[in-house]
Amino acid sequence: MGAYILRRLALIIPTLIGIMLVNFVIVQAAPGGPIEQFVAQMEGHGGSALARAGGGGGNEVSGSDGGTDSRGTRGIRPELLDELEQLYGFDKPASERFLKMLGDYATFDFGDSFYRDRSVIDLIIDKMPVSISLGLWSTLIIYLISIPLGIKKAVTNGSRFDVWSSSAIVVGYAIPGFLFAFLLIVLFAGGSYFDWFPLRGLTSPNWDELSWLEKVGDYFWHLALPVTANVIGGFATLTLLTKNSFLDEIGKQYVVTARAKGLEERQVLYGHVFRNAMLIVIASLPGVLVSLFFTSSLLIEVIFSLDGLGLLGFEAALNRDYPVLFGTLYIYTLIGLVLKLISDITYVLVDPRIDFESREG
């Protein structure tokens, strides 16, 4: 197992480089870089209102040359364009920028945001608690409900409970999370009916004045609606996955043998079937975590005014804030690869019969 872990850790490096290279090339070809936005703003053609003309050091992780040869640069002094290229780091070849980016990222130096006058790592640290809160509690609730529900559905397969519960979770899966979020706001956040829950932020304005017990209550009070909206569509896949996994194991010969020996149904189910059936459920955990942390929570963060990583990355993509864009991408990818490795290790903890040493790295 140790050799396998070392091989997997070694593979993280080329995987990261490959993903960053692909995205770097894509961004190179994308129009509307920060220089183009600044030029458009100077000429009154719109563009990002966040673009700044100067101040601060350049950043080498940019993925566009700013479009300095486009028609949008007509009427702009070449000296100003040269200054902008130096400011954003576009005066260097793309290959040199990419290599320097990799060197900096190896030490978690993501540079400074083009528009926020802050370092990228500080922005990520500031936004991380919101995304972790949403992802952690959403994942916990989904697993606490889906696994027992899936087991119950497998044991009572074909019963009335199995039919109506399947209908309920499929309907929940069909409702987009953001639409359910609006419904929750209308019903419970002062929209049209009840005003029971706050609409904005993760904490109340008087957070510092609250006792520790009141802070815990205030924290979960603010999380109630966003987490509910975030998990509404997450039950279906995991519940049905658990059910089908248990049904597959229940029909195997070792279960028939265990029952023939006189073991109680509970012993058969949780002493034999559970360990094997949960393997595929554990394998899905990294994907669930990454999805809830960085994808599903994006619209939820916007709707409930939660300033997390999802919203940060989305705004960076819109504003062509390349340091933030590539920095968050690097963090997302690294976390995903580490979670996948943790998932494999958990396989062994659940079922020691699995031998990763015989597998190719």
Q: Is residue 233 part of a domain?
A: yes
Kindly state whether residues 171 and 256 are assigned to the same domain.
Answer: yes
Q: Is residue 308 part of a domain?
A: yes
pLDDT single digits (tens) 316-355 = 888 788 888 888 888 878 887 887 787 777 766 666 666 6
Mean pLDDT, residues 266-285 taken together: 77
Output the pLDDT for position 42. 65
Kindly state whether residues 223 and 276 are assigned to the same domain.
Answer: yes
CB 215 within 8 A of CB 242: no
CATH number of the CATH domain containing 286: 1.10.3720.10
Kindly state whether residues 184 and 299 are assigned to the same domain.
Answer: yes
Could you tell me which residues come within 8 angstroms of residue 1 by beta carbon, excluding any fewer than 6 positions away? 345, 348, 356, 357
Q: Is residue 341 part of a domain?
A: no
Output the pLDDT for position 65. 44
- Structure-token match 């364009």, residue found: 81
Kindly state whether residues 159 and 285 are assigned to the same domain.
Answer: yes
Q: Is residue 344 part of a domain?
A: no
Which pTM value belongs to this model?
Answer: 0.69
Distance CA 148, CA 144 (A): 7
302 or 16: which carries more pLDDT confidence? 16
pLDDT single digits (tens) 73-86 = 445 667 666 666 66
Above 70 in pLDDT, residue 101? yes
Kindly state whether residues 95 and 144 are assigned to the same domain.
Answer: no
Kindly state whether residues 38 and 163 are assigned to the same domain.
Answer: no
Confidence of residue 71 (pLDDT cuts 50, 70, 90): very low
End residue of a domain, out of 96, 114, 132: 114
The answer for 66, left when phi > 0, alpha when psi is -120 to 50, beta otherwise, is: left
Confidence of residue 164 (pLDDT cuts 50, 70, 90): very high
Kindly state whether residues 177 and 271 are assigned to the same domain.
Answer: yes
CA 236 from chain center: how many Å? 19
Kindly state whether residues 43 and 98 are assigned to the same domain.
Answer: yes
pLDDT single digits (tens) 135-156 = 888 888 888 898 899 988 988 8
CB 20 within 8 A of CB 326: yes
285 or 87: which carries more pLDDT confidence? 285
Q: Is residue 357 part of a domain?
A: no
Kindly state whether residues 186 and 154 are assigned to the same domain.
Answer: yes
pLDDT single digits (tens) 219-248 = 899 888 888 888 887 788 888 888 888 888
End residue of a domain, out of 87, 114, 141: 114
Range of lowest pLDDT (35-44, 125-134, 159-168): 35-44
Q: Is residue 132 part of a domain?
A: yes
Kindly state whether residues 102 and 176 are assigned to the same domain.
Answer: no
Distance CA 43, CA 54 (A): 17
Number of domains in the chain: 2
Q: Is residue 82 part of a domain?
A: yes
Above 60 in pLDDT, residue 61? no
pLDDT single digits (tens) 247-272 = 888 878 888 888 888 777 788 887 77
Domain holding 188, by residue range, is: 121-319
Kindly state whether residues 170 and 261 are assigned to the same domain.
Answer: yes
Q: Is residue 79 part of a domain?
A: yes
Above 60 in pLDDT, residue 49? no
Kindly state whether residues 153 and 293 are assigned to the same domain.
Answer: yes
